Amino acid sequence: MAVTKKNRRYGMIVDVDLCTGCGACMVACAAENNVAPAPEKATDRTGITPMRVYPVHNGAPADKRQTAFLPLLCMHCSEPPCESVCPQQAVELDEATGIVTQMPQRCLGCRYCMTACPYHARYFNWWDPQWPVGMEATLNPTVAPRMRGVVEKCNLCASRLHAAEDQATADGQPPPATYVSACVEACPTGAMVLGDLDDPTTEAQKLAHAEGTFQLLAKLGTGPKVHYHSSRPWVRSLAERSAKEQANA
């Protein structure tokens, strides 16, 4: 019997109260997506980090100062400004998954998408990827390395989603309501949850509507599918501004 396919709207919830800023998600993201080590001449602006963790502070005096950590990645917007400005159609919102995909084969490196992204979650490849001798053996065979001169970003580990979809098809099941991205898998505190934001059976959908959950720069109307959660009012009130400041630093 044929399985009826339904569109999914995958998104992520990050519990800021659980994030310790360890950076395991950043390392896992780079390893999963074959991001080469940064050259010595790379700077904070020219390096490639599709997942980046920023510290945010409550602005209080030293004796009352509090710090939280905010993982920042592509928001996979429902109305992605990067898509509308790309002259090559190298950016596409996949209606079947809700994931904003980046196609390096079409990218001409104009970087209009980087200018349009209010989250500063896109990175330009200034150099051809190079790995230390022997490290090539550790590359992920399901992800093609990107060449110099193109833009890249988080793709919510699309290769893992495709593997989960293939397994579901083999089992005669509909597309999965959730799958595990590299960052979610690596997080030691379980601060990240990934799933279909329209499926009420997923933890992601429940957390997205929980008290204390918020989106970054929601006022812009981009409809980000990455949500953040915190029980601390100062995080909810300052994280948006602080993340933007950190990205511009």
Is the CA virtual torsion 221, 204, 7, 182 positive or negative? positive
Give long-range contacts, CB 8 A cutoff, 24+ apart: 102-109: 102/151, 102/152, 102/153, 102/155, 104/146, 104/147, 104/150, 104/151, 104/152, 107/149, 107/150, 107/151, 109/149, 109/150, 109/151
pTM (2 d.p.)? 0.91
Residues 47/38, Cβ–Cβ less than 8 Å:
yes
pLDDT of residue 41: 87
What is the three-class DSSP state of 71?
strand
pLDDT at res. 97: 95
pLDDT at position 241, please? 64
Q: Give burial (CB, 10 Å; 0-12/13-18/19+) of 33.
A: buried
Which domains occur in the chain, in start order?
A: 10-247 (3.30.70.20)
Quote the pLDDT of residue 249.
44
Q: How far is CA 4 from the centre of its chain?
A: 28
Residue 87 contacts residue 110 (beta carbons within 8 Å): yes
Considering only CA atoms, which of 71, 128, 99, 126 is closest in space to residue 197? 99
Cβ(88)–Cβ(104) below 8 Å? no
- pLDDT for 237 equals 84
pLDDT of residue 108: 96
pLDDT averaged per 10 residues, the chain (length 249) = 74 98 97 92 88 90 92 97 97 96 96 96 94 91 94 96 92 89 98 97 96 93 96 83 51
